[in-house]
């Protein structure tokens, strides 16, 4: 309400010429906002739509499942899509447990105190690390110091560090959304804090939690800078390209898009790049839709709320 008190003298008397000029300003500003917003949003959507159209011609069953070629046209991105999912799953395996536990701790247990402040500050600082710098950290630790060289697991661990803060924030928000009455009722029935958190609060929050996890997964799927120097950027050929060994190198789709342009060793670079871009865009859409749908379903299932 303090803002209103500050604004009042400026708002002032609604009389005579002062009022008219203020109304004109209002109308101009409104028009400007309408024009600017429509233009920008339209441009953004056109930008993306154009890429859809450009990439559509590249899409075929062979493109999506076939292997890249060594210098000839007609290669596919099958192994790259496989690697993207593989690294995503590895990353989630590490990120979700750690972040959810940390989020639970900060939200439910630590009421104040220095440890909580330190953890919160660390998480905020971790979130400011640029992805390329995180990739270099991964290079120093996993590739060099551990002597693993380029590995899928090195990439996954680097991505874990990159996404821990986001995942923790998702957990905290999901837990905060659970009404206090749930906690009180549970404790009133004699449950310990841990039993309350595990059996009452977590299930109620599972909807928003899942939505958040899937959305962050979408971002992990598209990550590039942190993976180039940890999981590597090299293509393998033939059947052995579909490789489940986490200690081998793994080029993902996003990294592959960058590399295919950078190396330009096949004659149909544009076709492959546009096709890859389209697949990435579609995956972002899919992750978004799944996040919402699954989140809503889980909320209904576990809390009975619509």
Partner 1 sequence: MSRSARLAAIALCSVLVPSMAFADTSISAAGSTALQPLVQAAADEYQQKNSDVKISVTGGGSRTGLSLVSSKAVDLGDSDILAPAGSDGLVDHKVAVIGFSVVVNPASGITGLTKKQVQDIFTLKVTNWKDVGGKDQQITVINRPASSGTRAVFMKTLMGDITTLPPTLTEDATGTVVQKVAQTAGAVSYASFSGTHNATGVTEVAIDGAAATEANVMIGKYPFWSYEHIYTNGPPSKDVDKFISFLQDDTAVFKKTGYIQIKDMKVTETNR
Partner 2 sequence: MVAVRANKAHRDERIALVVLMSCSGVFVIAIALILGFLAFNGTRLFWGDHYSPIAFLFGTNWDGFGGSYGAAPFILGSLVATGMAILIGGPLGVAIGVFFSELAPKRVASAFKPAIEVLVGIPSVVYGWLGLTLLVPAIATVFHLPDGDGLLAAGIVLSIMILPTVISLSEDALKVVPNSMREGSAALGATRWETITKVLIPSASSGIAVAVILGIARAIGETLAVQLVLGNAAIIPTSLLQPASALTSEIVMDMGDAPDGSGFKHALFAMAFLLLLISMGLIILIRFALRRRT
Based on the shown chain and the rule CB under 8 A, indicate whether residue 81 belongs to the binding site for partner 1: no
* Minimum distance, C-beta of residue 83 to partner 1, in the bound complex (Å): 11
**Is residue 264 involved in binding partner 1 (CB under 8 A)?**
yes
> How far, in Å, CA of 135 to CA of 128, rounded?
14
Closest C-alpha among 211, 281, 227, 206 to residue 91 = 227
How far apart are CB 304 and partner 2 at their closest, in Å? Answer: 25
DSSP-derived 3-state class of residue 266: coil
Site string for partner 2, 231-270 (x = CB under 8 A): -----------------------xx-xx--x--------x
The one of partner 2, partner 1, none whose footprint includes residue 86, by CB under 5 to 8 A per kind, is: none
Which one of 96, 143, 167, 174 is in contact with partner 1 (CB under 8 A)? 143
Least distance from partner 1 to the Cβ atom of residue 210, Å:
25
**Nearest in space to 117 (alpha carbons), one of 104, 106, 126:** 106
Q: How many residues does the chain have?
A: 306
Q: Give the CA distances from residue 123 to residues 78, 126, 127, 177, in Å, rounded to whole numbers and listed in that order.
A: 36, 5, 6, 21
Answer with the entry of partner 1, partner 2, none that 102 interacts with (C-beta below 5 to 8 A by kind): partner 2
Q: Does 149 bind partner 2 (CB under 8 A)?
A: no
Q: Enter the tokens of residue 20.
A: 């008219």
User: Does residue 150 belong to the site contacting partner 1 (CB under 8 A)?
Assistant: yes
Distance CA 34, CA 116 (A): 44
Site residues (CB under 8 A) for partner 2, limited to 119-138: 119, 122-134, 136-137
C-alpha 128/C-alpha 63 separation (Å) is 37
The partner in contact with residue 222, picked from partner 2, partner 1, none with C-beta cut-offs of 5 to 8 angstroms by kind, is: partner 2
Q: Which residues between 30 and 89 bind partner 2 (CB under 8 A)?
A: 30, 33-34, 36-37, 40-41, 44-45, 47-48, 50-51
DSSP for 157-181? HHHHHHHHHHHHHHHHHHHHTS-HH
For residue 258, the minimal CB distance to partner 2 (Å) is: 5
Q: Tell me which residues in 33-72 interact with partner 1 (CB under 8 A).
A: 69-71
230 touches 61 (CB < 8 A): no
The interface region with partner 2, picked from 61-69, 73-81, 189-197, 238-246 by CB under 8 A, is 189-197
Q: Decide if residue 22 touches partner 1 (CB under 8 A).
A: no
Restricting to residues 212-241, name those near partner 1 by CB under 8 A: 232-241
Tell me the two tokens of residue 198. Answer: 């595990």
Nearer to partner 2 by Cβ, of 22 and 248: the residue is 22
Cα of first residue to Cα of last residue in the chain, in angstroms, is: 35
239 binds, among partner 1, partner 2, none (CB under 5 to 8 A by kind): partner 1
Q: How far apart are CA 220 and CA 71, in angstroms?
A: 30
Residue 221 C-beta: closest distance to partner 1, Å: 21
On whether the CB atoms of residues 287 and 217 are closer than 8 A, the answer is yes
Closest contact distance (angstroms) between CB of 56 and partner 2 is 15
Q: Pull the structure tokens for residue 12.
A: 């002032």
Number of chain residues interacting with partner 2 (CB under 8 A):
96
Structure tokens at 106: 């900060």
Instruction: Please say whether the dihedral angle defined by the alpha carbons of residues 116, 122, 125 and 129, taken in this order, is positive or negative.
Output: negative
- Cα R_g (the chain), whole angstroms: 25
Q: Does 265 participate in binding partner 1 (rule CB under 8 A)?
A: yes
Residue 248 in contact with partner 1, rule: CB under 8 A: yes
């Amino acid at each position: 309400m303090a803002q209103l008190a500050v604004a009042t003298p400026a708002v002032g008397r609604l009389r005579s010429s002062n009022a008219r000029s203020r109304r004109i300003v209002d109308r101009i500003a409104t028009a400007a906002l309408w024009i600017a917003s429509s233009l920008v949003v339209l441009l953004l959507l056109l930008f993306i739509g154009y890429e859809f159209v450009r990439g559509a011609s590249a899409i075929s069953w062979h493109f999506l499942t076939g292997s890249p070629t060594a210098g000839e046209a007609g290669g596919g991105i099958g192994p790259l899509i496989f690697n993207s999912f593989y690294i995503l799953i590895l990353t989630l395996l590490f990120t979700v447990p750690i972040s959810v536990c940390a989020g639970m701790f900060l939200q439910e247990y630590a009421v104040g105190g220095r440890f909580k402040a330190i953890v919160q500050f660390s998480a905020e600082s971790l979130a400011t690390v640029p992805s390329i710098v995180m990739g270099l950290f991964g290079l120093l630790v996993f590739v060099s110091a551990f002597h693993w060289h380029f590995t899928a697991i090195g990439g996954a661990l680097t991505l874990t560090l990159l996404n821990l803060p986001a995942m923790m924030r998702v957990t905290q928000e999901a837990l905060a959304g659970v009404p206090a009455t749930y906690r009180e009722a549970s404790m009133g029935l004699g449950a310990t804090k841990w039993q309350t958190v595990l059996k009452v609060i977590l299930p109620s929050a599972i909807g928003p939690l899942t939505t958040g996890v899937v959305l962050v997964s979408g971002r992990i799927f598209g990550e590039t800078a942190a993976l180039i120097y940890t999981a590597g950027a090299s293509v393998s050929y033939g059947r052995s390209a579909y490789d489940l060994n986490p200690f081998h190198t793994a080029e993902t789709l996003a990294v592959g898009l960058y590399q295919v342009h950078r190396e330009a060793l096949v004659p149909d670079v544009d076709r492959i790049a546009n096709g890859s871009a389209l697949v990435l865009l579609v995956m972002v859409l899919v992750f978004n839709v799944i996040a919402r749908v699954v989140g809503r379903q889980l909320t209904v299932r576990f809390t009975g709320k619509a």
